[in-house]
Amino acid sequence: MTTTNTISRTGGVDDVPVVRLVACGSVDDGKSTLIGRLLAETGSVPEDQLDYARRTRRGGSTIPVGEVDYSLLTDGLEAEREQGITIDVAYRHLYLPNGRRVIIADAPGHEQYTRNMAVAASNADVAVLLVDADRGIRDQTHRHLTVCALMGVRSIIIAINKMDLVRYDHAIFEELTGVVKAAAARLGLDEVSAIPVSAFEGENITKSATKMSWYHGPSILDALANWEPPPADHESPFRMPVQFVSRAEGNFRGYVGTVAAGTVHPGDEIVVADSGQTAIIDRIVTFEGDRDEARTGDAITITLDREVDVTRGDLLAASGATASGETAWPQPADRFSADLVWVGEESLMHGRSYLLTIGPRTIPATVTVVRHRRDVVTGQQLAARVLETNDIGRVEIATDTAIPMDAYSSIRETGGFLLVDRVSADTVAAGMVTHALRRSLNVVPHNYEVDRDARARLKHQRPRVVWMTGLPGSGKSTIADAAERRLHALGLHTYVLDGDNVRTGLNKDLGFTPEDRAENVRRVAEASKLMLDAGLVVLVALVSPFRNDRRAAREIFDADDFIEVYVDTPVEICAERDPKGLYAKAASGNLPNMTGVGQGYEVPEDPELILHGGGNLDEQVDTLVALIVGE
Amino acid sequence: MSVASVTSNDVLDALEAEAIHVFREVAGAFQRPVLLYSIGKDSSVLLHLARKAFYPAPIPMPVMHIDTTWKFKEMIAFRDRVAVELGLDLRIAQNLEAIAEGVTPYTHGAQEYTRLMKTVALREGLDRYQFDCAIGGARRDEERSRAKERIFSLREAGHRWEPRKQRPEFWRTANTRLSEGQTMRAFPISNWTEFDVWRYIRRENIEIVDLYFAKPRPVVERDGTLIMVDDDRLPLREGETPMMKSVRFRTLGCYTLTGAVESEAADLDSLLTEMLESNVSERAGRLIDGEGGGSMEAKKAEGYF
């Protein structure tokens, strides 16, 4: 017997009243039938829906009218049926006889829907992974196992289905189970059990099998009814992200949130992980009255014995140290290594600024490096510079401010985050922190005595960054050249960072894809910042076609230091001038990423200054110089 | 199966905590949230959860009722009393134009009536006060298309629901950011079932409209459905005479569109027992859902809540 497992332990219903289950497997492995039968045989679906499943028949169905077609109980949206696609994860309730509730996240089995599988797995405690006994292990089996491991699903129940098609053969069951268990072990999944079932015949679903005398383990229903979480769960240190600070009559000041991990009591010392401030819990307030304990999942309001500086998004955590001598709370850091599941329609661009949302906190963040992309079938790490929809990969992330985050593998709630597109507001990725990068903890900026102000005073000037954006051939370099000569004559210390010139050195490794353009802009912005710090007036002449990239550049400067100048020249004039012959090349199809031809140019929405590259050069330069020296 | 085993207290505690978390996230993340209140049992549960979520502070957002003018009289009286008792900032949204034009369920058909008096009124109400997030009592077990509904459900300009643009929901972490024209709907009791709602009402002693309990009421039988004659606006068809029957309502909407069930269940316990025995979808009594396959989905695409 190799089906010994951890799920046959007894009890645990009170500890885990609601079990979240993800059902996964390839398209034809019989998932709908298995879920449908579980729902029907536990009385979890109303009678009229059963009636529907008795009367309705889809094309190709061989089930006689009058019998329940279980797969119909999980039928989806009309839009899905009409368009023959599966859009989304569905959530269904399973009532267990022992009072436990199972919420089944039913993820579509098509391989292009890795993102849906990831969503379903992100909340799941247990996965039921279906394998067709007749057709055997498939790519999708490995893919789903990988996603389960990545998203932190702790227990896997392998359901070897369609045993009726292989004459309930014990050897086939053992063989398939062996392959999946080996794959699971490689992924670090250790709570793995296997059950031979026939969803179609109802063997081992809610009732023990009658046709597999060689099997003595639980049915699917029993396995779910007796499931217990791994013991480590109860020992997590306390974490609570603050949703908001509540103020009520009588100077009441409470910190509102849901306990993400651990247990707390009045009298416990906690720390605001963001600032390191400590305080003692005074009360745990709820509508029913004060509590003497709160545990993972409880929605509470905490009052503290002293005033601390806390706002929405801050993390309250256990103070003290762990057994290994580290602080029991995560130290703020601004560089992280993380795994991403890319769900956005546009590809990931490193260097582009996104919003990072973790619990109730949202801050700007940049993906600085793509380390590798994961082949979800073989587990191989592939070299990659971008991540596309449904890709999974390891990246490094830089946040604008240092924040405390846990490793996802230890606490999901405080180690899992979203990346959000700044303009469309779409969620583009789910991220799982692997660790804060050491160098961010070790790199402590040294404050030099001679600072920017001192350098600027010596030069008798106000350092500025003037960022000129516009189409190729719009006249950016020409204006910059003329303006710099004028400023130089006035005795100002200047430097021009010209797009083409920078690409011959600092950025010679970059091309013209959107993601390389983002990195190009990031590096030029950082170089400008150093020059600003050196006290210079910096003129940047860079196509920088994308709003998001320019916004990211602007954000690293103080508001007064950055002047965005849009050199507005009609594309016909740019093409006619064509100083570098680019428009001619693009027209002949040799320059697919040419801005204004193959790629779009996003006009600045709110630049400090608009110059007309088609107008009189001296007038444009007058206006620009006046802005730089005049204020 | 017993009532207790369908929903244990521990299950209710977990569902309650999840709902409170959603309420608080809405209050923390949005500028102008609103709680949609339909006077039904789910709304009564929502109000109760809102009080718990913000205690000891009061509910920090207005409450809006979409009044079609065809609700049961008892519902309106209940609404006005609760608003006073809880000190609610109650807003009432109506499609005044349609009311002036004399739109009724009879003159315009149930579907067009619902679009004008509920969907359009809701959209106008949300726009008038510029609410950026509306909390509603939808549940995933209610209807097939709802099984795929998000807890935070995004609406495009014009309050359109686009299945393809819904955001993936990872963990408890919600992306509450909105781009130009977008608004949000939030459903704190998404993961509750009808039994959960009833058991919670019993456990927490939540007051609900009396129409949920059986009582002799004047009804007519029409197309196989029992319709209560709540006032003299119901045009009686030939041969129809109101008769007194002991009936209750499983869901509450406009009285002319809400079917009653014959029942003797005059209190919560007998009601729960009766429901467990019959085991029929609750929306089966809603006449508007049935028109055209997947019509709930079609209504949602237009902005219905």
Give the per-residue pLDDT at B53.
97
Describe the crossing of helices B41-54 and B73-86 by its angle, rounded to 10 degrees: 10
A544 is catalytic: yes
Q: Are residues A363 and A311 in the same domain?
A: no
Q: Is A56 helix (H, G, I), strand (E, B) or coil?
A: coil
Give the per-residue pLDDT at B184.
95
Give the per-residue pLDDT at B253.
78
Q: In which band, very low, low, confident or very high, does the pLDDT at B291 lie, cut at 50, 70 and 90?
A: very low
Give the per-residue pLDDT at A11.
37
Q: A398: Cβ–Cβ under 8 A, 6 or more apart, which residues?
A: A334, A335, A365, A366, A368
CB B198 within 8 Å of CB B205: no
Q: Quickly tell me which residue has 């107008």 as its tokens.
A: A615
Q: Are residues A426 and A360 in the same domain?
A: yes
Phi, psi (5° rounding) for residue B123?
Answer: -60, -45
Contact A46 B281 (CB under 8 A): yes
Give the per-residue pLDDT at A252.
93
H or E segment and range at residue A584 = helix A582-587
Distances, alpha carbon A65 to alpha carbons A62, A69, A201, in Å: 9, 8, 17
Which of the listed ranges A1-5, B82-86, B109-113 does the model predict with the highest average pLDDT?
B82-86
Residues of A in contact with B57 (CB under 8 A): 246-248, 252
pLDDT tens, residue by residue, A481-492? 999 999 998 889
Nearest to A425 among B173, B174, B178 (CB): B178
H or E segment and range at residue A106 = strand A101-106
Q: Quickly tell me which residue has 């922190």 as its tokens.
A: A433
CB A419 within 8 Å of CB A428: yes
Domain boundary among A411, A441, A471: A441
For the segment B101-127, the average pLDDT, to the nearest whole number, is 82
Q: Residue A163 falls within a domain, yes or no?
A: yes
The helix/strand count (H/E) of chain A reads as 16, 27
Give the per-residue pLDDT at B274.
83
Give the per-residue pLDDT at A169.
93
Domain boundary among A189, A208, A233: A233
Task: Give CB contacts under 8 A, 24+ apart, made by B5-8.
Answer: B5/A95, B5/A97, B5/A98, B5/A99, B6/A95, B6/A99, B6/B195, B6/B199, B6/B276, B7/A99, B7/A101, B7/B193, B7/B195, B7/B196, B7/B199, B8/A13, B8/A17, B8/A99, B8/A100, B8/A101
Task: Print the domain residue range for A376.
Answer: 333-441
Q: Are residues A476 and A613 in the same domain?
A: yes
Contact A77 B297 (CB under 8 A): yes
Least confident of A130-144, A225-239, B204-218, B288-302: B288-302
Q: What is the torsional sign of CA A127, A130, A131, A135?
A: negative
CB B187 within 8 Å of CB B136: yes
Q: Residue A575 falls within a domain, yes or no?
A: yes
H or E segment and range at residue A81 = helix A78-83
Contact A119 B169 (CB under 8 A): yes
Helix %, strand %, coil % of chain B (to 5): 45, 15, 40
Q: Are residues A519 and A569 in the same domain?
A: yes
Residues of A in contact with B175 (CB under 8 A): 357, 418, 420, 425, 427
H or E segment and range at residue A583 = helix A582-587
Q: Are residues A286 and A153 in the same domain?
A: no
Give the per-residue pLDDT at B289.
46
Domains in chain A, number? 4
User: Which regions of chain A are under pLDDT 70?
Assistant: 1-15, 27, 59-61, 75-87, 109-112, 230-234, 438-447, 598, 631
* B142: closest CA of chain A, how far (Å): 11
Q: Are residues A471 and A577 in the same domain?
A: yes
Q: What letter would DSSP give residue B71?
A: B
Give the per-residue pLDDT at A228.
83
Q: Are residues A75 and A199 in the same domain?
A: yes
Q: Are residues A294 and A340 in the same domain?
A: no
Q: Residue A5 falls within a domain, yes or no?
A: no
Domain boundary among A194, A213, A233: A233
Give the per-residue pLDDT at B295.
55
Q: Are residues A458 and A596 in the same domain?
A: yes
Q: What letter would DSSP give residue A365?
A: E
Q: Are residues A393 and A296 in the same domain?
A: no
Q: Are residues A43 and A127 in the same domain?
A: yes
State the distance between the two ends of chain A, measured CA to CA, in whole angstroms. Answer: 83
Rounded to two decimals, the ipTM of the complex is 0.88
Q: Residue A159 falls within a domain, yes or no?
A: yes
Q: What is the CATH number of the domain that holds A619?
A: 3.40.50.300
- The Cα B7–Cα B28 span in angstroms is 30
* A355: closest CA of chain B, how far (Å): 10
Q: What letter would DSSP give residue B106?
A: H
Give the per-residue pLDDT at B183.
94
Q: Are residues A354 and A218 in the same domain?
A: no
Give the per-residue pLDDT at B39.
92
Nearest to B20 among A77, A118, A299 (CB): A299
Number of residues written out for chain A = 631
Q: Residue A326 falls within a domain, yes or no?
A: no
Distances, alpha carbon A69 to alpha carbons A56, A132, B13, B177, in Å: 8, 19, 35, 41
Give the per-residue pLDDT at B279.
64
Enumerate domains of chain B plus CATH numbers.
3-205+293-301 (3.40.50.620), 210-285 (no CATH)
